[in-house]
Amino acid sequence: MARLRIASCQINTRVGALDANVEAILAALRVAEEAGCDLAVLPELAITGYPPEDLLLKPGFIADNLAALEKVAAATGDCVAVVGFVDRGRDLWNAAAVCAHGEVVGTYRKRELPNYAVFDEARYFAEGDEPAQLWSIGGVSVGVSICEDAWNPAGPILDQADSGAEVIVNLNASPYAEGKLARRERMMATRAADASCALVYTNQVGGQDELVFDGGSMVFDAEGRLLARSPQFVEDVMIVDLEVEPVYRKRLLDPRGRPTDRLLPLNVGFSDEVEASATPNAADDAPLAALSVAPELDPDEEVYRAIVLGTRDYLVKNGFRDVVIGLSGGIDSTLVAVVAADAIGAEHVHGVSMPSRYSSDHSKSDAQLLAENLGIDFRTIPIEPAHAAMLQMLAPSFEGRDADLTEENLQSRLRGLTLMALSNKFGWIVLSTGNKSEVAVGYATLYGDTVGGYSVLKDVYKTRVYELCRWRNAQGDAPVIPEGVITKPPSAELRPDQRDDQ
């Protein structure tokens, strides 16, 4: 029976950076070629990056995407590459190109277009409507599907399996959410078992604006058993040898695949056969690729790694080298500083303490100790002179009114002003330090602690901030976060004896 050696190429792409994406694709294909693979699977829209959004409304961008695909196809040899791109005709399609021997030999167009949550594909793309099509690669019938196609139990995967597919590849750009890896695994295992097909699920990895793609690419056999999984949050080329014989064995015993039980009319369209000549199919006794199932991460580690990757890629992909953070000695700014140091290196992180008359000694010392533990640049710029001047300037207008939140918020806004001045002068991007709980209830100062080009904790609740700090402190030889930061009562320190938890 035939054996197919497959490379699942979990790469990090950039939206709109066609040349960089082509280089990343070609680098992965070189690894696949050197490993003697018959087939290499790249992520959804790997050429353009995901999600391309309104770039899709620019005809020049679509043309450039097609030219980039031709570069990828021209570089292919015996190893067949399945690459996500934007196809053009009377409409636009989210598509996958099947490339081999220097050319594009076939195309699949995504049928199920998600239009919920962060997805807006129906705005840009038409649904694919071609009959089920298979490609013969090294004597194995292979079907191609894209992301949401696999979430429909009666969708393209079942059609392709009924048409005779033995292996189905699924190209993905599936964003991270906590616990989603397990949900994906259950879903794909079910699809593989129901279709009596081996299934290769290839996801992209990396941050793109507000989204994080965690990778976690997987391969399942025809029984729905997990054979291999790439680690989350890192690029990876996973090599897997798939034996086709178990697919035949499973179908012989599964009546759901018999013609009398098929619910949909079948239209089988085989392209011209694409033959791969890599070692595994040439010699059935060749050594099998070692299979590895990357372990699931602890929930706190998973969330922390997602935050670090999202922060790093936002900075790198937008051309920022250094960040500046207001270090109050509180737990939120502390976690942001630690994430930033882990993401881009301590030498690129600048912490600023901006004490006022209400800042406690322990908060000031905690901020300094954190900076020393991390090895980041640290400076103190007191806002008291500016605060006093503002109060004096506004005194005539405020005459006869009691002090309230106005005077408190002045301090936060002066800190934001200071950080933005440093940003303008040195080209450092300000990382804001507010968490999701504060934003949800409005416990924040507009033009104050909301200042910043990227909000690291925008999707992290306050309770999780504490959990992540404790998890991070448990890593390495010694805790980097001063224990007092975690244990002291939370306070904005904008008035005497203020407590955030009362």
State whether 271 and 305 are in the same domain. no
CB 272 within 8 A of CB 100: no
Say which residue the tokens 């002066």 belong to. 414
State whether 273 and 350 are in the same domain. no
Say which residue the tokens 């353009």 belong to. 48
Banded model confidence at residue 501, pLDDT cuts 50, 70, 90: low
Say which residue the tokens 């048409």 belong to. 163
| Nearest Cα to Cα of residue 458 among 488, 472, 437 | 437
Number of domains in the chain: 2
| pLDDT-wise least confident of 282-286, 294-298, 322-326 | 282-286
Quote the percentage of the chain above a pLDDT of 70.
Answer: 89
Look at residue 497 in the predicted model and tell me its pLDDT.
Answer: 66
- Last residue in a domain, options 282, 307, 329: 282
Structure tokens given for 360: 């406690």
Banded model confidence at residue 124, pLDDT cuts 50, 70, 90: very high
CB 105 within 8 A of CB 76: no
- In whole angstroms, what separates CA 186 from the centre of its chain? 20
Exposed, middle or buried by CB within 10 Å (0-12, 13-18, 19+), for 135? Answer: buried
Catalytic residue among 9, 33, 110, 469: 110
Average pLDDT, the chain: 91
Rounded mean pLDDT, 220-237? 97
Domain membership flag for residue 500: no
d(CA 118, CA 213): 12
Catalytic residue among 37, 147, 197, 469: 147
State whether 173 and 236 are in the same domain. yes
What SS3 string covers 40-67?
EECCCCCCCCCCCHHHHHCHHHHHHHHH
State whether 143 and 30 are in the same domain. yes
Banded model confidence at residue 297, pLDDT cuts 50, 70, 90: very high
Q: Please say if 110 is a catalytic residue.
A: yes
pLDDT reading at 7 higher than 80: yes
Banded model confidence at residue 257, pLDDT cuts 50, 70, 90: low
Look at residue 282 in the predicted model and tell me its pLDDT.
Answer: 39
State whether 269 and 166 are in the same domain. yes
State whether 341 and 228 are in the same domain. no
State whether 186 and 260 are in the same domain. yes
Count of Cβ atoms closer than 10 Å to residue 88 Cβ:
14
CATH at residue 378? 3.40.50.620
Domain membership flag for residue 141: yes
CB 383 within 8 A of CB 416: no
State whether 249 and 304 are in the same domain. no
Domain membership flag for residue 294: no
Give the residues across from 96 on adjacent strands. Answer: 84, 108
State whether 337 and 228 are in the same domain. no
pLDDT reading at 493 higher than 70: no
State whether 413 and 319 are in the same domain. yes
Domain membership flag for residue 499: no
State whether 343 and 249 are in the same domain. no
Q: Please say if 44 is a catalytic residue.
A: yes
Catalytic residue among 44, 121, 166, 438: 44
Look at residue 112 in the predicted model and tell me its pLDDT.
Answer: 95
- Last residue in a domain, options 282, 313, 333: 282
Domain membership flag for residue 502: no
| Amino acid at position 440, single letter | A
Domain membership flag for residue 289: no
| Nearest Cα to Cα of residue 350 among 435, 428, 424, 412 | 428
Interval 348-383: pLDDT, tens: 999 999 998 887 788 889 999 999 999 999 999 999
Banded model confidence at residue 90, pLDDT cuts 50, 70, 90: very high
Look at residue 230 in the predicted model and tell me its pLDDT.
Answer: 98
Domain membership flag for residue 420: yes
pLDDT reading at 272 higher than 60: no
State whether 23 and 90 are in the same domain. yes
Q: What is the pTM of this model?
A: 0.90
pLDDT reading at 279 higher than 60: no
Q: What is the DSSP letter of 232?
A: B
Please give the backbone phi and psi of residue 268, each rounded to the nearest 5 degrees, phi first: -95, 120
pLDDT reading at 45 higher than 80: yes
pLDDT reading at 263 higher than 50: no
Q: Please say if 347 is a catalytic residue.
A: no
Look at residue 410 in the predicted model and tell me its pLDDT.
Answer: 94
- Last residue in a domain, options 236, 253, 282: 282
Parent domain of 325: 299-487
CATH at residue 224? 3.60.110.10
Rounded mean pLDDT, 3-11? 97
pLDDT reading at 286 higher than 80: no
Give one word for 196, left, alpha or beta, with left for phi > 0 and alpha for psi -120 to 50.
left
Domain membership flag for residue 428: yes
Structure-derived torsion over alpha carbons of residues 275, 278, 284, 285, reported in degrees to the nearest 10: 170
